[in-house]
């Protein structure tokens, strides 16, 4: 659950025109598989820039990786990797394409019969085929971490994998790609990155003054740039700050030496698996209920967050903490993101027990920073999210 090894060796190429530099980062004579999604890169010039940069390499292409990268599609790409004797992977896209590529990196070296086992065996991946990325959607942080989340439509499952062998060798972060991102995805990106910080911050105080302020600064920057980026995604300064915030939210830095939660993500992934709700929106559905349900154990950090990030300076600790939850939901609403499950699906009744049963059957009995949340707690939190 995103709690992977974070000895980060990814080289970041940040800024305008950096796609042109990727040739220097790929081993000479490598046979490259260029992986992409539904075709946005062909409309915004990113595909052309990438092909131009790869002019001296032998390149095979694999397009059509869908949002919430689907196992059966990735298995077709794996066949291409083997048949074409590929030795370097290049993901050009958002979190889904990069995550799909991470799975392929691991699957290419996997010796078992069923690569889906990589998602269920809970073993960190220590070795994979080398890969780089050209990020087109700031959101997940996948471009600088070693985790991936893969969907299996047939099994209606969405599970995480990762390990020290799955860091990209390099990632290009050119903020100019932001200008073609649709409003829905911009809102998703801001919400996802914001929640990544919350998952590593909204726990209990451990005296990590610097880490707390790192986390708060990412939150404040996202709050500051959100209106500018939504008004005009071609605002380069806003796009650059948005992009860097998303990367820093989940590249390992802010989690050093502090407890982390990640229960919101664990519950959110189930809502995507069951109803296909966008990843970021599932987090917005769960986060408020999670904090209300765990109010006692999280109230000190909630109050600190309210004070430092939202400037709530009056009231008791409880009142500030409560205001922190309200401000968070109001922020998501301001982005156009709904925060209850019933706003996304009519068939929400029964969801809580389905998810709690899934957690029980997987043996997921100790979630959250105290490793104490049981499937029955999860059931109550999801019910509060209806």
> What does the binding site for ligand NZQ look like in residue numbers (CB under 6 A)?
2, 37-41, 44, 67-68, 93-97, 99, 136-137, 139-142, 145, 147-149, 177, 180-182, 185, 188, 192, 250, 265, 279
To ligand NZQ, the closest distance from the beta carbon of 163 in angstroms equals 12
User: Cα 178 vs. chain centroid, distance in angstroms?
Assistant: 17
Task: Tell me how far apart the alpha carbons of residues 86 and 101 are, in angstroms, rounded to a whole number.
Answer: 13
Task: Tell me how far apart the alpha carbons of residues 148 and 279 are, in angstroms, rounded to a whole number.
Answer: 13
Q: Which two tokens stand for residue 341?
A: 């499950």
Interface pick for Zn ion out of 5, 192, 377, 379 (rule CB under 5 A): 192
134 versus 341: smaller Cβ distance to ligand NZQ: 134
Which of Zn ion, ligand NZQ, none does 250 bind, CB closer than 5 to 8 A by kind? ligand NZQ
Residue with tokens 């397009």: 63
Determine the longest span between alpha carbons in the chain, in angstroms.
65
Under the binding rule (CB under 5 A), the answer on residue 99 touching Zn ion is no
178 versus 382: smaller Cβ distance to ligand NZQ: 178
Strand partners, 88: 32
Binding region for Zn ion (CB under 5 A) out of 160-168, 189-197, 235-243, 284-292 = 189-197
386: how many CB neighbours lie within 10 A of its CB? 14
| Inter-CA distances, 48 with 44, 172, 369, Å | 9, 15, 45
Q: Which two tokens stand for residue 194?
A: 């914001």
Which of Zn ion, ligand NZQ, none does 374 bind, CB closer than 5 to 8 A by kind? none
78 versus 134: smaller Cβ distance to ligand NZQ: 134
**Secondary structure element (H or E) that encloses residue 133, with its range:** strand 131-135
192 versus 278: smaller Cβ distance to Zn ion: 192
Q: Which of 143, 173, 122 is nearest to 3 (CA)?
A: 122
Site string for Zn ion, 276-315 (x = CB under 5 A): ----------------------------------------
Binding site for Zn ion (CB under 5 A): 192
């Amino acid at each position: 659950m995103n709690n992977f090894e974070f000895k980060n060796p990814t080289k970041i190429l940040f800024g305008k025109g950096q796609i042109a530099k990727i040739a220097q980062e790929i081993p000479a004579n490598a046979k490259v598989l260029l992986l992409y999604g539904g075709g946005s890169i062909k409309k915004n010039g990113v595909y052309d820039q990438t092909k131009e940069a790869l002019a001296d390499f032998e390149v095979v292409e694999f397009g059509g990786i869908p949002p919430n990268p689907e196992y059966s599609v990735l298995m077709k790409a794996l066949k291409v990797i083997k048949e074409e004797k590929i030795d370097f992977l290049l993901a050009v896209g958002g979190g889904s394409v990069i995550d799909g590529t991470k799975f392929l990196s691991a699957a290419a070296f996997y010796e078992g019969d069923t690569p889906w086992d990589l998602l269920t065996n809970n073993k960190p991946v220590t070795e994979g085929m080398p890969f780089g990325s050209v990020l087109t959607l700031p959101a997940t942080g996948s471009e600088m971490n070693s985790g991936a989340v893969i969907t299996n439509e047939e099994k209606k499952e969405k599970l995480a994998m990762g390990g020290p062998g799955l860091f990209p060798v390099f990632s290009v972060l050119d903020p100019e790609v932001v200008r073609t991102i649709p409003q829905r995805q911009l809102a998703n990106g801001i919400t996802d990155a914001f929640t990544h910080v919350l998952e590593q911050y909204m726990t209990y105080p451990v005296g990590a003054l610097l880490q707390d302020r790192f986390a708060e600064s990412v939150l404040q920057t996202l709050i500051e740039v959100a209106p500018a980026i939504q008004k005009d995604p071609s605002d380069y300064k806003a796009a650059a700050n948005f992009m860097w915030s998303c990367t820093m939210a989940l590249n390992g830095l802010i989690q050093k030496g502090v407890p982390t939660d990640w229960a919101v993500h664990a519950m959110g992934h189930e809502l995507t698996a069951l109803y296909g709700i966008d990843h970021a929106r599932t987090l917005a559905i769960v986060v408020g209920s999670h904090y209300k349900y765990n109010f006692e154990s999280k109230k000190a950090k909630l109050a600190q967050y309210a004070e430092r990030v939202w400037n709530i300076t009056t009231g008791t600790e409880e009142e500030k903490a409560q205001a922190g939850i309200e401000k968070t939901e109001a922020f998501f609403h301001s982005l156009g993101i709904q925060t209850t499950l019933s706003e996304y699906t009519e068939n929400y009744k029964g969801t809580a027990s389905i998810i709690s049963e899934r957690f029980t059957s997987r043996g997921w009995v100790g979630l959250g920073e105290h490793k104490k949340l049981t499937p029955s707690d999860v059931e109550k939190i999801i019910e509060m999210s209806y």
